[in-house]
Amino acid sequence: MTEQLKQIDQHVVQWLMQMKQEVPKMLADMDLQTKTSRFDLVTNVDKSIEQSFEQLLTAQFPEHQLYGEEAHHDTEKLREGYTWVLDPIDGTANLVKQQDDFCIILALFYNGEPVLSYIYDYPRQKLFQAIKGEGVYLNGTLLSPPPIMALKDSMISFNNKVLNDETMHDLLDASFGYRLIGACGLDSAKVFTGQFGMHIHTNAKPWDIGAQFLFAEMLGLKMTNFHQEPIDFIHGGPFIISNPGCYEQTLEILLQKGGYEK
């Protein structure tokens, strides 16, 4: 299995490097078009990236299924054989407003289990890569699990529009500090490296969190819903990815005053 995964991985890394060249061109073209809104134009870039990945699958792995943000149809057979989950651009608002802090999130599942995962930070050209049975890498260098961190010593990350005020302030009081990047993939990657203690998305779509399953598993992080239950990769939903040292206290605070909306 590992050898087969490594072969698939080589094709995917090659494709990501191709996107590294093409996405800046697509974005430059986007600037030239003025008639539609910038959000619509980004949606077109999303679609082009997803179509490009679909072409790679058709050419190299025709039996693989694609469950992407832009074209998700049938969900019945996604637990059978190979299924890719793709968010071609995560952090769309950041791209439009800041031209920074956006990424691709890509993951392969085999019979419902995660086996390959990628988060690629386009502007910083940082590739987080996980190969089941092999290792987790940042730009080719092995990434070790982060140290265990207590909540009081950790930066934490969540959308402040969807937590109630009291819960939010309880979390802020219990932690070292708060930062939000605004792209679920990049906020999650900060937990991989120990820069954040945890990230919460109260209404994550499957493509926001597809890659995080394998990174969490291989880096010894917690990734569950808010009742410490596994998340279904086909449905997504309330999501926490956390350093094990922050996890229980965060959930206790999050739930004790019924503190969030979907």
Query: Rule CB under 5 A: which residues touch Ca ion?
Result: 69, 87, 89-90, 208
Residues whose CB is less than 8 angstroms from the CB of residue 24 and which lie 6 or more positions away in sequence, other chains included? none
Distance from C-alpha of 3 to C-alpha of 19, rounded to nearest angstrom: 25
Q: How far is the CB of 92 from ligand NAP (least distance, A)?
A: 4
Distance from C-alpha of 160 to C-alpha of 165, rounded to nearest angstrom: 9
| Residue 115 contacts residue 108 (beta carbons within 8 Å) | yes
Q: How far is the CB of 122 from Ca ion (least distance, A)?
A: 12
| Residue 176 contacts residue 246 (beta carbons within 8 Å) | no
Give 110 or 118: the residue with its C-beta nearer to ligand NAP.
118
Distance from C-alpha of 246 to C-alpha of 25, rounded to nearest angstrom: 41
- For ligand NAP, the binding residue among 50, 87, 121, 170 (CB under 6 A) is 87
218 part of the interface to ligand NAP, by CB under 6 A: no
Give 66 or 131: the residue with its C-beta nearer to ligand NAP.
66
Q: What is the DSSP letter of 224?
A: E
Give 54 or 134: the residue with its C-beta nearer to ligand NAP.
54
Residues whose CB is less than 8 angstroms from the CB of residue 22 and which lie 6 or more positions away in sequence, other chains included? 52
3-class SS of residue 235:
coil
Q: How far is the CB of 4 from ligand NAP (least distance, A)?
A: 30
Listed residue (91, 100, 106) closest to 39, CA to CA: 91
123 part of the interface to ligand NAP, by CB under 6 A: no
Backbone angles phi, psi at 131, to 5 degrees: -120, 115
Give the amino acid at 88.
P
Q: How far is the CB of 54 from ligand NAP (least distance, A)?
A: 18
183 part of the interface to ligand NAP, by CB under 6 A: yes
Give 93 or 148: the residue with its C-beta nearer to ligand NAP.
93
Token pair, residue 220, equals: 């010894």
Give 170 or 187: the residue with its C-beta nearer to Ca ion.
187
- For ligand NAP, the binding residue among 136, 143, 184, 214 (CB under 6 A) is 184
Q: How far is the CB of 248 from Ca ion (least distance, A)?
A: 27
- For ligand NAP, the binding residue among 51, 52, 203, 225 (CB under 6 A) is 203
Q: Which spans of this chain sit near ligand NAP (rule: CB under 6 A)? A: 87, 90-93, 159, 161-162, 182-184, 201-203, 205, 208, 262
